[in-house]
Chain A
């Protein structure tokens, strides 16, 4: 089955810096990769996703890149703000399946 690894487990940056979180997956059949953000005490929420027919996707300050050959994908946050502080989870699945396989999460702390 699919296995998703996520790094780093914690990431501290200064406000305004960029943050990058990386994930690798094992199943070459996986073709859909969402990212979830969980603020302290709140529910995980989808923030961005990418399908395997696309190499990069942007939404304002966040972007996701995908390298199918290497089986890795990354979340990029530019101009970080304190409200970006949260735990971020990557996930992988195959379109047609409804079971997401999550990474272990990255705790991002943005200091003012």
Chain B
């Protein structure tokens, strides 16, 4: 079974540019999450989709971040325009609805560096 895949693995952009991160969850997983880890800090929740609906987006930092999950399959997270403080590792995770609580299947992350 394929795991959660994320693309790109690493992106280096300049302040003010746009970046789009993509996540393909495990097939059949309706729950999809985005998290971010800034160096040395916690893995911080950004938002949660159930299928194509945003269940909780309370962690989104500001309106420069836009997440979509059209069709309830893969998801994208766009940062526009990027700022220096957006640098970090963006993790996507998925889980089954009704599955084992807390068992999130993570991707390997997309490292974003904003110069």
The reply on B108 being an interface residue by CB < 8 A is yes
CB distance from A8 to the nearest CB of B (A): 13
A29-57 interface bits toward B, Cβ cutoff 8 Å, 1 = contact, 0 = none: 00010101000011111100100000000
The reply on B101 being an interface residue by CB < 8 A is yes
CA distance A36 to B41 in the complex (A): 15
CA distance A45 to B91 in the complex (A): 12
A93-B102, A102-B42 known; A43 vs B55 contact (CB < 8 Å): no
CB distance from A42 to the nearest CB of B (A): 6
| Nearest opposing residue in chain A for B9, CB measure | A41
Q: Which of B12-20, B43-51, B67-75, B80-88 faces chain A? A: B43-51
| Nearest opposing residue in chain A for B92, CB measure | A43
The A/B interface has a contact count, at CB < 8 Å, of 60
A9-B40, A104-B40 known; A34 vs B48 contact (CB < 8 Å): no
Residues on the B chain within 8 Å of A44, using CB:
43, 91, 106
CB distance from A44 to the nearest CB of B (A): 5
Chain A residues with a Cβ closer than 8 Å to the other chain, count: 25
Interface size grouping (class) on chain B:
20 to 34
The reply on A99 being an interface residue by CB < 8 A is yes
A98-B31, A98-B48 known; A49 vs B43 contact (CB < 8 Å): no
CA distance A102 to B41 in the complex (A): 10
| Nearest opposing residue in chain B for A44, CB measure | B106
A89-B43, A103-B42, A104-B40 known; A45 vs B102 contact (CB < 8 Å): no
Q: B-side interface residues toward A, CB under 8 Å? A: 3-4, 31, 33, 35, 37, 40-45, 48, 55-56, 91, 95, 101-104, 106-109
Can you name 13 A-B pairs with beta carbons within 8 Å? A32-B102, A41-B108, A43-B3, A43-B4, A43-B91, A44-B91, A46-B102, A49-B102, A95-B101, A99-B33, A102-B42, A104-B40, A105-B42
